[in-house]
Structure 1
Amino acid sequence: MKGVLETRELHSPALESNPLGDPSRRALRVYLPPGYSAGDQRYPTVYFLHAFSNSGATWTNVSAFGLSALDRLDALIEAGTIPPVIGVFPDGWTSLGGSQWINSDAIGRYRDYVAKDVVGFVDRTYRTLPKALSRAVVGHSSGGYGAMVMGRYHPELFSHLGSHSGDAYFEYCYMPDLPKAAGALLKAGGVEAWYQDFKRRSRETKPRGDDFTVINILAMAAAYSPKKGEPLGVELPFDLNTARLKLDVWNRWLVHDPVRFVPKFLDAFRKQKSVFIDCGTRDEFNLRWGARMLADELKASGTELCHEEFEDSHSGVTYRFERSLGFLVPRMARE
């Protein structure tokens, strides 16, 4: 690697006393481009939001024959394909596997963690260009969803968004798994019983193949329909005995669907200087269709948008960051 990767420890006031008891001190990985230490130049900054069940360390994972997202960022800069930038890799792991990068009474304030604590720390510590025009936020899956969340709430911080296979159109990406989760939870004797058994099995051996569906739905319920007093502080969008959809709870989920909130917050998204959206044509979570819906809305609003589809599935697509960074980074302000 031609650049330098630093690991700092960041204390996050936003995550103090979070409901899951997860740590408020997090490792923060920061990539500094070649030449950073030799000069006084200031750089645009790209924030990378990881997917559900991952952590900030995931961005440095290398397969036997592939490249990590960090390696690809470094190679793009070295080749001159994109101008030098600082890369920031926050850790949004939770005991339920993820946060969706939002503020939730059942998980904690992970949107504030990024928008206030991480951005503030990076701007104080490194030679950034501390303005929205020089900040991008990109991510994959739940991280891509998180990028759209940041666009909705924080156009004053981020003027460039990249969503790779981001969660959208909840009827297609979540609803097919609701009856599967209902069956597993009913068999286990309820939410708390299933979760405790899941943690035990994960420690002693490893999760089962069908565990991902259940923990994913529980984590989404914690993000979209938290309720104090319920097991894990979540209200399920279905009746546990019949799997009948609870429309009042499901509608609480839909408020968080980018297909719903982007049209309602178009003023925020019109402030974006560039937006990149993609999805694989064989995405297992049916996210291709939500991506198309979002692209239509943003195109109609006049947003400078790049929307792409590619022949692949949901996972193992870090190579796609070469496309998003190649589109977004040259459009970032450099002074």
Structure 2
Amino acid sequence: MEIITKILDSEALHDNPVNDKPQREVTIIENSPKENTPLLVGLAGFFGSSRSFLNKSYTNIDFMDVLNKISKKYSFIIILPDTMTYFRGNQYVNSTAVGNYSDFITKDLIKFLFKIYGKRDVYLFGKSSGGFGSIYNALHNPDIFSGFIDISGDSYFHYSYLRDFPVAYKILKNLGIKKFMEKFNSDYIHSQDELTAENIIAMSAFYSPKNTEINLPFDLNDGGLNEHWNAWLKFDPVNIIDTSGISLKNKKIILQTGIYDEYSINIGMNMIHEKLSMLNISHTYKEYPVGHFNTNHLYLESMPEILKDY
């Protein structure tokens, strides 16, 4: 395997509202690429970015361990773009409060890759927020992507997000978003509740912005849900499948999840599976006796499912 690093100057990210750099590092991992070897674009989970895929674990199988194992049998080209933002992660959608990260992936990155490798099949893959970004962008860009791997991607927001709202409300009701972010950025360490609050702010920046303003899905006066929650639900893959699911026909779709997921995302993943089945859209769905974290080993099954056809 060879690891290559290139820099992409993204047109979509120029003049973004939080002044994140538009020049992004793209890590490419090649293993005996052939003329028809597909491009597999990895989207990191929240609080992570491209280099997170390269982290070494001494207690669990890590992503590079996965690639080493499958490299003996398959050729591949893995693409890992830097997608980190001011909000400590990404949901891979276009946002007036963060930046046009769907365009970054579907326009700038794809153009960049085709210039290097020529036009060829492209797949998305990721876990958690990366899984969400994979299914979301595949649903909206069926002309670009041949399929995706979604491992416990954010779905059925009623279960996966609502549970965190009371925690975020407790912290934000006295500080508000601006003061909390100033404190968060200046502190060296953060409690789990603070990370939860920051995550909800970030999701609001992606799902329910108005221009550069971030609108929380609950009222800071009494904690009750407000109209911005409806804006969130428009991004829920469980809902998008109802209107755009047919766009996934003839795509390679692999859904994987843990039955002990700490955010109950397995329920949303099963709902996606059931809805795809109702639409007669071929896909692979598998549940495992694991939780939300330390699931790199699931790629040992899903990546070969894609690569075996090449």
TM-score by length of 2: 0.96
Q: 2:124 aligns with which of 127, 137, 140?
A: 137
**Aligned AA (1:149):** Y
SS in 1 for 2:8: strand
The alignment status of 1:261 with 2:240, answered yes or no, reads yes
Is the Cα–Cα contact under 8 Å of residues 33 and 74 in structure 1 kept in the other structure?
no
User: Which consecutive residues of structure 2, in runs of 5 or more, have no partner in the other structure?
Assistant: none
Match of 2:87 in 1: 96
Please give the alpha-carbon distance, in whole angstroms, between the structure 2 residues aligned to 1:31 and 1:224.
Answer: 32
2:245–2:279 contact (8 Å) kept in structure 1: yes
Aligned residue identity for 1:68: D
Deviation track 1:13-59 (CA, whole Å, cap 9, x = no partner) reads 1111111111101110001113x4xxx73421111111011011000
CA distance in 2, matches of 1:293, 1:92: 28
Contact 1:262 1:269 in 2 (8 A): no
* 1:278 equivalent among 253, 256, 262: 256
Counterpart of 2:165 (choices 178, 197, 207) is 178
How many angstroms apart in 2 are the aligned matches of 1:209 and 1:5?
A: 34
Structure 1 equivalent of residue 278 of structure 2: 300
Whether contact under 8 Å (1:155, 1:271) holds in the other structure is no
SS at match of 1:264: helix
Other-structure match for 2:10 = 12
| Partner Cα distance (1:304, 1:91) in 2 | 31
Q: How big is the shift at 1:123?
A: 1.4
Shift in Å, 1:266: 2.1
Could you tell me whether the CA contact under 8 Å between 2:168 and 2:193 is conserved in 1? no
Question: Size of the alignment, in residue pairs?
Answer: 310
% identical equivalent positions: 29
DSSP-derived class of the 2:12 partner: helix
Q: CA deviation at 1:256?
A: 0.5
- What is the DSSP-based 3-state SS (H/G/I as helix, E as strand, rest coil) of the residue aligned with 1:190? helix
Asked if residue 243 in structure 1 is aligned to residue 223 in structure 2, the reply is yes
- CA-based RMSD of the aligned residues comes to 1.4
Task: Work out the CA distance in 1 between the residues paired with 2:59 and 2:260.
Answer: 23
State the SS of the aligned residue for 1:93.
coil
- The reply on whether 1:321 has 2:299 as its aligned counterpart is yes
Find the aligned partners of 1:26 and 1:329 in 2 and give their Cα distance: 27
- Report Cα offsets for 1:73-123 as digits up to 9, x if no partner: 232021x1xx31211011111111222000011110001101111111111
Secondary structure at 1:89 match in 2 = strand
Cα pair 2:250 2:282 within 8 Å, conserved? no
TM superposition score normalised by structure 1 = 0.89
Amino acid at match of 2:177: V
TM-superposed deviation, 1:65? 4.0
Matches within 5 A, 1:226-241: 226-228=209-211, 233-241=213-221
- Say whether the 8 Å CA contact 1:19–1:107 is kept in structure 2: yes
Q: Which stretches of structure 1, 4 residues or more, deviate above 4 A after TM superposition?
A: none
Q: 2:24 aligns with which of 23, 26, 37?
A: 26
1:51 to 36, 45, 66: 45
> Per the alignment, in what secondary structure is the counterpart of residue 210 of structure 2?
coil
